[in-house]
Amino acid sequence: MNERRLGRSLVVSAMGFGCMGLTESAAAPDSAAAEALLRHAVDRGVTFFDTADVYGLGANERLVGRALAPVRDRVVLATKSGIRRGADGAFLGIDGSPAHLRAGVEASLRRLATPVIDLLILHRVDPAIPVEDSVGEMSRLVAEGKVRFLGLSEASPDSIRRAHATHRLAAVESEYSLLTRDPEAGTLACLRELNIGFIAASPLARGLLTGTLHEPDDLPEGDVRRNQPRFFAGNFDRNVALVRIVEDMAHRLRCTPAQLALAFLLAQGSDVVPIPGPTGLAEFDENIRALDVPLSAEDLGRLARAVPPGAAAGARHVPEQMATLGH
């Protein structure tokens, strides 16, 4: 697989693997199948794996650690810290305090069964804590050899600049897909000015861009997406209409809508690394073939015009969660 560079020095596969769905999804596979899927991804050339301390309340990191321990020297592990969840999984708020971040990293190192985290990402910028304080503590973890590179998630250009002035950032991770074009409004330009890479989370719009969802009831009972505005009945219908446009273009280009959506992101720049989160082997193999989908400038322009920024109906999270973004 081709490689891409995040920042100056962190080299990763052109497409990564978002691990959240292996424990946070209603379609999550059992532990053995999930571990087999992660090892299959390595065999197919994926070297970049993204998790977080709150995914599955630590279970996600333990799963990733077990599965990738035999190939640890061949992979780049990214994890995130800075959100608090209760024992029942409820969101308890953002915590970017140095004490929380340090404790989070120590716990992540144990769960991942690794002596060092390759990329530590501040999961959300805490508006109550200067970003310089959060990143300052993260930089001390780098100095201690517990972390190699630093990043932010869902941060504003102002916070990115301030954090980068405190310690060089390798990457910023935010949601980016054909249905979520927010990073194009200023974040990507800021990152390119500072030579910081971009990790595109939820590149298939939480499954909408796979073309496999036709009505809200296609989501299994208990699926977290049932509580996300883009999947509410009225919004869902409008978003599926946009996906139909993507499906028509994909048919003409002899690929699947998921492959077209991923190819679109891959074509946005060599500093963009999508991290789809497949939960099965067939889904993974479909996604990885997006690397072989050629898109001309005309194709990209037609697609961008057909699904323009702001076209998606509904916010990507409920108000409580939306309030944590963009600080």
Q: What CA dihedral angle connects 95, 98, 103 and 108, to 10 degrees? A: 80
* 78-106: b (≥16 Cβ within 10 Å) or e: bbbbbbebeeeeeeeebbbbbebbbebbe
Residue 188 CB neighbour total at 10 angstroms? 21
171 three-state secondary structure:
strand
Continuous segment of H or E residues that includes residue 151: strand 147-153
Residues 322 and 182 sit within 8 Å (Cβ to Cβ): no
Which entry of 55, 149, 264, 284 is annotated as an active-site residue?
55
Round to whole Å and give the CA distance between 212 and 221.
Answer: 17
Instruction: Note whether 262 and 290 are within 8 A (CB).
Output: yes
Active site residue 176: no
Per DSSP, the residues of 198-224 read: EEEESTTGGGGGGT---SGGGSPTT-G
Rounded to whole angstroms, the Cα distance separating 323 from 227 reads 16
Q: In this structure, are residues 276 and 49 in contact, taking their beta carbons and an 8 Å threshold?
A: no
Residue 168 three-state SS:
coil
CA 155 to chain centre: 13
Residues with Cβ within 8 Å of residue 141, at least 6 apart in sequence: 101, 102, 105, 120, 147
Catalytic residue set: 55
